[in-house]
Amino acid sequence: MTDCIFCKIISGEIPSTNVYRDDQVTAFRDINPAAPTHILIVPNKHIDSVNMMIADDEPLIGHLFFVTKELAAKEGISEGGYRLIANTGAGAGQTVFHIHLHLLGGGPMKHPMG
């Protein structure tokens, strides 16, 4: 996707503070953090949203969650707890239409959500 900001971050066209990268996933710090730790984890393959996944994407999405678990441990937030958010669609607050997880932690989370 030529106009996708996350695709541009993955390609290096837009700079970011990367914390992880492999052949399937890129993770970087959110530029407007909502918590002391706020990392975006995105597949390197462009997928608009959860609704646009196909069966072949299942291993990739599993890897996305595994990397998230590893990053939470690396950031020191796995023991205290963390929140994962995946917005799907504009009505849910999705503003970048490239599937991604928000990893939030490092302090108490507000509740209820929604």
Cβ 74 vs Cβ 37: under 8 Å:
no
Q: What gap in Å lies between CA 89 and CA 63, rounded to an integer?
A: 22
Residue 99 host element (H or E):
none
Task: Identify whether 100 is a catalytic site residue.
Answer: yes
Gyration radius (Cα) of the chain, Å: 14
Q: Structure tokens of 80?
A: 């205290």
- φ/ψ of residue 8, rounded to 5: -70, -35
- Give me the catalytic one of 38, 100, 102, 111: 100
- Positions marked catalytic: 100
